[in-house]
Structure 1
Amino acid sequence: MNVMFLGTGAGIPAKARNVTSIALQLLEERKAIWLFDCGEATQHQILHTSIKPRKIEKIFITHLHGDHIYGLPGLISSRSFQGGEDLLTIYGPEGLEEFIRTSLSISQSRLTYPIEFVVVEEGTVFEDDQFQVIAKKLEHGIDSYGYRVIEKDLPGALLVNKLKALSIKPGPIYQRLKAGEKVKLEDGTILDGNDFLGPKQKGRVVAVLGDTRYTDNSIELCKEADLLIHEATLSEADEQLAYDYFHSTTKQAALIAKRSNAKQLILTHISSRYQTEEDVATLKEEAQAIFPHSSIASDFMQIEIPKHRD
């Protein structure tokens, strides 16, 4: 599991930062990639990475401002020419489906794969045996959501030494026991796989927030997150401006990380007014003064999220 930032700017593209898109790469976990937002030229950004559009399984949109959705029609269309055949599910606020279907219809685009839309409301928007995704509404003038991606706890390690002590040799039986199955031996003995597994491995949590003012909902979404991705459009000196435009400052994002007891904070959606290395260093210092484990995202930056260790 790792995160790649495909765009880290705010509002409009800049020379150093494209507009927002974040890829959560779950290649080991489910051989798939989930996108969070898809600003203009996201597919161009992908060309500079190893990401294969056909591997994109889900796209989660935080809100319907252009810098978060204008890349969708192009990416969706191009996916057909890049081997896309599997279902693509797109999650987002009311109106997203109309925007995409209208764009595809007027451009007479034809897809080689099925597409499904899920209108996001507060609560669980996706769940299977591996992951759960919870959405909560933020404060941005229009409907804007944050997403909490929860990896479900993984089975514990197979206690091989315990099996060897019973003279059980490696083979298919190990795989069945690892899956928690009950296995009947030739002598009639029944082994329960759960008796031969170590403690469960705690799953990881990633929180991705859309554009927002400071809000307590953010703290709930980010509680104990292994990685928190939060917008920081403006510096703490521009707190009133951030409030007026429904955005957050570096200080406010850091306070969310601190109060939610997140492990790591990555700040993104950086205004184009901060272009020099000194500007970025100042933003980082502002956040680290409150939450030391803070970093500023840059385009194509990757963050590995390691598995929990006992």
Structure 2
Amino acid sequence: MELYFMGTNAGVPSLERNVTSLALRLFDERRTFWLFDCGEATQHQILRSPLKLSKLEYIFITHLHGDHLFGLPGLISSRAYQGGNTPLTLFGPPGLKKFIMTALEISESRISYSLEVVEHEGGILFEDESFCVESALLDHRIDSFGYRITEKDQPGKLDIEMLARHGIKPGPMYGKLKRGESINLPDGSLLHSTDVLGISKPGRIVTILGDTRPCEAAVQLAQDADVLVHESTFLHELAETAYTYHHSTTKQAAEAAKRAGAKQLFLTHFSSRYKYNDQLQQLEREAREVFPQSDLAREHVMYPILRHG
């Protein structure tokens, strides 16, 4: 599981940074990736990345401001040309479906794969045997949501040598033991999964927030997260400006991470006023004064999500 940022600028792109888009790469877990927000030119950023549109499974939109979704129509239309023929599901606030369908209809775009748009107002959006995704409303000028992705605990490794001694070969019996079930051995005795399974691996938690002022929902979504991605549009000297425009400062993002007990914080959504590297480093330094495990999100860098359990 890794994070890959394809846009870290707020509002408009610059020569150095694109507008908001972030991929959660799940190659080892399910051989796909999920996209969070899709600002203009996101499909161009994907072409410059190790990601493939054919592997895109879900898109989660935080809110309906243009710098977070203007890249959707082009990406959806182009996906099939890059081998993307599997179903694609979009999650986002009410109004997302109208935006997508209007753009595709007026442009007479033809989609050759199954496309589903799920509008929501928070709560649990998706759950299977491996992951659960839930959402909550933040504090922004329009409805803006944060997403909490919880990986379920993974069973430990099977003791292959012990199974071989019992005459158990790879197959359905392995699956039963991994699921925590017991099996009957050839001699009629019972073999419990706890006898042959190692220590389970704790699942990881990733929280990705949309644009927001400081709010309790952000802290709750980030509770004990291994990684928190939080907007930090301004240095804290512009806290009043941040409040006026319904955004957060670096210090406020760090305070949210600290309150939530998160393990790592990635800062993103930087104002275009911060053009140079030394200005961005100032954002990082300010956050680290409150929460030392703070890092600037850099575009086209693969960040592994570590297990902290």
TM-score by length of 2: 0.95
Find the counterpart in structure 2 of residue 91 from structure 1: 91
How far is the alpha carbon of 1:162 from its aligned partner?
Answer: 4.9
My pick for the range that moved more, 2-11 or 118-127, is 118-127
Q: Is the 8 A contact 2:166 2:185 kept in 1?
A: no
TM-score by length of 1: 0.95
CA distance in 1, matches of 2:277, 2:83: 40
CA distance in 2, matches of 1:46, 1:156: 34
The 5-angstrom pairing of residues 199-214 of structure 1 reads: 199-214=199-214
How far is the alpha carbon of 1:20 from its aligned partner?
Answer: 0.2
How far is the alpha carbon of 1:297 from its aligned partner?
Answer: 1.1
CA distance in 2, matches of 1:22, 1:203: 21
The 5-angstrom pairing of residues 290-309 of structure 1 reads: 290-308=290-308
Letter aligned with residue 277 of structure 1: N
Q: Is the 8 A contact 1:201 1:308 kept in 2?
A: no
Letter aligned with residue 97 of structure 2: E
The 5-angstrom pairing of residues 42-191 of structure 1 reads: 42-160=42-160, 162-163=162-163, 167-168=166-167, 171-172=170-171, 173-174=173-174, 176-191=176-191
CA distance in 1, matches of 2:174, 2:129: 21
CA distance in 1, matches of 2:152, 2:209: 20
Report % sequence identity. 51
CA distance in 2, matches of 1:267, 1:168: 53
RMSD over aligned CA atoms reads 1.6
Gaps of 5+ in 1: none
CA distance in 2, matches of 1:32, 1:181: 29
1:241 maps to 2:230: no
Find the counterpart in structure 2 of residue 261 from structure 1: 261
CA distance in 2, matches of 1:44, 1:184: 55
Gaps of 5+ in 2: none
How far is the alpha carbon of 1:300 from its aligned partner?
Answer: 1.1
Q: Is the 8 A contact 1:205 1:225 kept in 2?
A: yes
Find the counterpart in structure 1 of residue 224 from structure 2: 224
How far is the alpha carbon of 1:170 from its aligned partner?
Answer: 5.1
Q: Is the 8 A contact 1:123 1:135 kept in 2?
A: yes
My pick for the range that moved more, 117-126 or 172-181, is 172-181
Letter aligned with residue 57 of structure 1: E
Q: Is the 8 A contact 2:94 2:121 kept in 1?
A: no
Letter aligned with residue 53 of structure 1: L
Letter aligned with residue 271 of structure 2: S
Count residues with an aligned counterpart.
308
How far is the alpha carbon of 1:181 from its aligned partner?
Answer: 4.0
